[in-house]
Amino acid sequence: MSKHIGAQMLEFPQSGDERGHLVIVEGMDDIPFNIARIFYIYGSGSDVVRGKHANRKSEFVLINVAGSCKVKVKDGKGNEAVFVLNRPHTGIYLPPLLWKDMYDFSADSVLLCLASEHYDAAEYIRDYDEYVRMVNEETT
Ligand code: TYD
């Protein structure tokens, strides 16, 4: 589904038993990178749009460990796809250089973000026009 854009839904192993659910995510195994950083987002209103950037280097996996949200990804070349995150054992893999918006947060949404890199503001592209110029220059 929408693989052409580079983003991909992932399903993680569940090892639950009668005590409850357990979901395991190991770097370089369940996801294609080593985890250098985690952060999580909660308390965003249903009218809030977060993200609105692309990353030159970082790869991410986003998991709604509670509640739900949507992720819209664009490649700057006219392709876009919307993914719904609403199950704690599924996530979306986002390679570098995709534009991403997160929105439609449920009131109970807790969006866990796994990143391949430590935070570096310099690798964030926050201007959409600049992003479109960049990705189109790179392939011409
Ligand atoms: P921002 O990138 O706007 O968050 P989101 O993409 O989820 O909407 O980040 C908000 C602020 O937090 C911004 O000033 C950068 C800072 N920040 C860090 O210092 N470290 C981090 O790991 C992240 C994700 C953000």
Catalytic residue flag (residue 53) = yes
Q: Whose CA is nearest to atom 5 of ligand 1?
A: 51
* 8 A C-beta contact, residue 90 and residue 9: yes
- Per the CB < 8 A criterion, the answer to whether 64 and 86 are in contact is yes
Q: Does 50 sit in the ligand 1 pocket, CB within 6 Å?
A: yes
Residue 80's alpha-carbon distances to 20, 26, 52, in angstroms, are 36, 28, 14
Q: Note the pLDDT of residue 1.
A: 46
In ligand 1, which atom is closest to the CA atom of 50? 8
pLDDT of 72 > 60? The answer is: yes
What's the pLDDT tens digit per position in 102-128? 999 999 999 999 999 999 999 999 999
What Rg, from alpha-carbon coordinates, does the chain have?
Answer: 15
Which DSSP symbol is given to 57?
Answer: S
Contact 83, 71 (CB under 8 A): yes
Q: Is 54 in the pocket of ligand 1 (CB under 6 A)?
A: no
Q: Rounded to two decimals, what is the model's pTM? A: 0.94
Which pLDDT does position 4 carry in this prediction?
Answer: 75
